Chains A and B, each alone.
Chain A
């Protein structure tokens, strides 16, 4: 895509390989094509795996990193369904139906193509194309891209599925969050479930189901595509008791200390360059060393639970890996592992819990009121770890889910398997995007992207295959001229080469364009817009191109439209200010002390 916008290049590629959807194979398939397992962790942050610098113990996911490659410059979208839509279609959100999240579609977007709030029927999906190419296609876990019969996984290419159609919910049962929508909706193999299996626990059940799907057809000679779309570690942090107490007291030290420790490990591992600086502590968060031990203990317990969620997830991924080894499929399986967006720093429960006197408050009182820390993890509890720990999960980046700072959209990616010819355990910083997965997997399967589907012309893919890169023939799928674009909730960004242009609502943004060199300043501490007017203009031109190419319609309402009035005024995070709070007790020289004279 040298010197061409990403979308234009994708269009050319699509045109080049365009064939009807039913005739996919463009080259003789290898004797045994690899299986594909995509493990998507919901709201898991960049630094939450041991192999990305975390203290959280993730030996199974780390084993994939050791067998494969870690990618440190991989971008998703800033929130769930937009990322998922691009993962499964390779098409920009504003064209595939997730131009905005269903939950936040603005009045001026209602009824418009690309803003349906579900995966529209003008795009093809990875499972659809792989299925037509001879793959078994399985899905477990969170879908979040539509609930009606024509929108569910079975209708979008999955041969078998056990899916949560909602964006989140209880891990223990079908309880959802609001009085208007009190029950989570699940499907299994295209049928809406009236109840959940006995002893249901989301992460465990999803894994069991996926293993069952794989086993059911194992031996028929066909490879499989497994989309393991875990709900974990999305809040609420529901967790079996034995997983809740693996880090007791470990996070009492506070978020600053844990961020510093993670960055140190990241530099030691080579995940981040050695001169990397941490992003600002969000100005509305206290310095944890100024907090009482009890406060740190309670807030730390939330992170303990989150760590348990990630470790529990890792354990179940380990079960799947072990099973694939047991049935002899591991060596012929490509794994892709990543989080769907930045870690969650917003207070989702506050948004949905209502206030006293409202129906949602009453619903919450009945279903979500297990607030005692001893009950955290149980059904009826709703724990999320807040912006302070979200920043830890996104070390060293700034901000978190929902925002287009690096902390909202940059995630760790692991790819391992037979197509990865790079050195095992190596790290790569090529510029990558979640929409690249569609063309990459088509390459893996020996399939191509069709021009039409059901008589409708398909939009161009915006991604670029990683095939050469995974083979060690390139360091990045993109050139310095290729660019990536994002827009959700009215926040906007473009990245090209080292540079990133960003517009965000106040106060996390400036309500104006900011310009960062994210290679030199991944923490986005220094807005260079004023100093680089030419670069700013060039990046703005890319933004305009992105808008035109992808049908971007800025929302008239946003989840963040009144945030400025809710947060305290933004101030710098100068360490040690004010000295009034930080200056320690003066201790006089011992030889100058004396008792009072009588």
Chain B
């Protein structure tokens, strides 16, 4: 056929490639403790993604510590970035994902010294890298080819999630404020997606929940002391809605309960804090997604309450060899 007539006659080729990454490919982790809405939407197996997340955080707890040990009267500011790599694949006909996220950045603030006095500390470098494995157990089967991807609708989807942080990040045992945590810790969870209404780009609505439990090992050298942390229950919720085919927004909420810290057998109080936020997402092109968001704790005026707010921007670049090859052949930029 003349003049590239095949692609004119079958614009579905373009639709197919355009749709693939329009479904929120591998939105990256916002921080080690939380992820934005649409993070667990599924995409084509054997896709890859590189997330870059930049956050500006302030509050009375160390944002690099997922247990968020509160320092009463403390004040911290952090500029952090998370880089990573994620790969989707098919496992037993189900959609699965493995990822590694490496936090890095600068952290400074007012912390308590061993004598109880307030001192300023700072830290910079790399935090503890985190490995994540996620597999869907209820919902659509893995997207093993483009037709599967085109037909993806989450309906009700339930995943199983496991995270493990490796205690190899920057750590100075002489100060309370560190990027690394000097202990093993991890999380098990069950991300859920509830599709509300039709699955039409520009009109998609979801309610997404992530119930999870964090489990922490002991830090035997927490400024010369032993830090133990009880398991911490996490419930994240996101009500997401498309504004257009390329722009979406979310109301975010989170509730943390538990995670009581014990330092040298002296127990603190358990956490029970709630935060709300907003996220805007934008599909820059078929490879790239951008989100920006803000989140803040509420009912956090008491000295022992966790207080934290953060601005966050994420940029995720995703690709699949088939799609990239099709693009090259079609001459698309």
**A residues apposed to B, CB below 8 Å:** 241, 248-249, 252, 284, 286, 291-299, 301, 370-375, 378, 568
Contact = CB atoms under 8 A, between A and B. Distances in A.
A248 B146 contact: no
A373 B146 CA distance: 13
Nearest to B152: A374
A294 B198 contact: no
B147 A293 contact: yes
Contact of A378 (B145, B150, B200): B200
Contact of A294 (B1, B6, B9, B16): B16
Nearest to A378: B200
Interface string B1-22: 1100110011011011001000
B300 interface: no
Given A370-B200, A372-B200, A374-B199, A297 B5 contact: no
Question: Interface centre among A249, A284, A374, by most B CB within 10 Å?
Answer: A374
B245 interface: yes
Nearest to A381: B200
A294 B13 CA distance: 7
A294 B44 CA distance: 12
B114 interface: no
B245 A298 contact: no
Nearest to B23: A374
A297 B151 contact: yes
Given A294-B13, A298-B12, A568-B5, A375 B200 contact: yes
Interface string B275-294: 00000000000000000000
A416 to B, nearest CB: 39
12 contacts: A241-B198, A252-B147, A291-B10, A292-B146, A293-B146, A293-B147, A295-B10, A301-B150, A372-B19, A374-B198, A374-B200, A375-B198
B245 A292 contact: no
Nearest to A569: B2
A297 B202 contact: no
B203 to A, nearest CB: 8
A50 to B, nearest CB: 25
A538 to B, nearest CB: 41
A519 B9 CA distance: 34
Interface string B207-249: 0000000000000000000000000000000000000010000
Nearest to B151: A248
A304 to B, nearest CB: 10
B19 A249 contact: no
Interface string B133-157: 0000000000001110011010000
B201 interface: yes
A294 B150 contact: yes
B90 to A, nearest CB: 16
Nearest to B145: A293
Nearest to B13: A295
B198 A297 contact: no
Contacts of A248: 151
A353 to B, nearest CB: 13
B32 to A, nearest CB: 34
Contacts of A378: 198, 200
B200 A299 contact: no
B45 to A, nearest CB: 14
B82 to A, nearest CB: 32
Interface of B: 1-2, 5-6, 9-10, 12-13, 15-16, 19, 145-147, 150-151, 153, 198-203, 245
Contacts of B245: 372
**Main SS of chain B's interface residues?**
loop
A377 B258 CA distance: 49
A370 B145 CA distance: 24
Contacts of A294: 12-13, 16, 145-147, 150
A293 B148 CA distance: 10
A297 B150 contact: yes
Given A248-B151, A373-B150, A568-B2, A295 B12 contact: yes
B198 A373 contact: no
Given A294-B13, A294-B16, A374 B145 contact: no
Contacts of A568: 1-2, 5
B201 A372 contact: yes
A277 B25 CA distance: 48
Nearest to B5: A568
A246 to B, nearest CB: 14
A374 B242 CA distance: 14
Contacts of B202: 372, 375
B150 A298 contact: yes
Contacts of B12: 294-295, 297-299
Contacts of B201: 372, 374-375
B181 to A, nearest CB: 43
Contact of B147 (A284, A297, A372, A374): A297
Contacts of A252: 147
Contacts of A370: 200
A37 to B, nearest CB: 35
B43 to A, nearest CB: 14
A184 B15 CA distance: 30
Contacts of A301: 150
Nearest to A370: B200
Question: Interface centre among B5, B6, B150, B245, by most A CB within 10 Å?
Answer: B150
Given A298-B16, A299-B12, A249 B147 contact: yes
A385 to B, nearest CB: 12
Given A284-B1, A297-B146, 10 more contacts: A292-B146, A294-B145, A294-B146, A297-B12, A298-B16, A301-B150, A371-B15, A373-B15, A374-B200, A375-B201
B139 to A, nearest CB: 16
- Across the A-B interface, the 6 shortest Cβ-Cβ residue pairs: A298-B12, A297-B147, A294-B146, A294-B16, A375-B200, A374-B200
A373 B20 CA distance: 12
A22 B145 CA distance: 68
Nearest to A386: B9
A369 to B, nearest CB: 10
B151 A295 contact: no
Contacts of B13: 292, 294-295
B7 to A, nearest CB: 10
Nearest to A302: B12
Contacts of B19: 372-373
A371 to B, nearest CB: 8
B155 to A, nearest CB: 11
Nearest to B147: A297
Nearest to B197: A241
Contacts of A291: 10
A582 to B, nearest CB: 17
A99 to B, nearest CB: 33
A298 B151 contact: no
B3 to A, nearest CB: 10
Contacts of B1: 284, 568
A297 B143 CA distance: 13
A372 B204 CA distance: 12
Contacts of B16: 292, 294-295, 297-298
A294 B201 CA distance: 18
A299 B203 CA distance: 23
A372 B245 CA distance: 9
A373 B200 CA distance: 8
B10 A299 contact: yes
Contacts of A375: 198, 200-203
A291 B13 CA distance: 10
Contacts of B5: 568
B220 to A, nearest CB: 53
A324 to B, nearest CB: 35
Contacts of A249: 147, 151
Contacts of A299: 10, 12
A327 B112 CA distance: 87
Contacts of A292: 13, 16, 146
A179 to B, nearest CB: 23
Contacts of B199: 374
Nearest to B204: A374
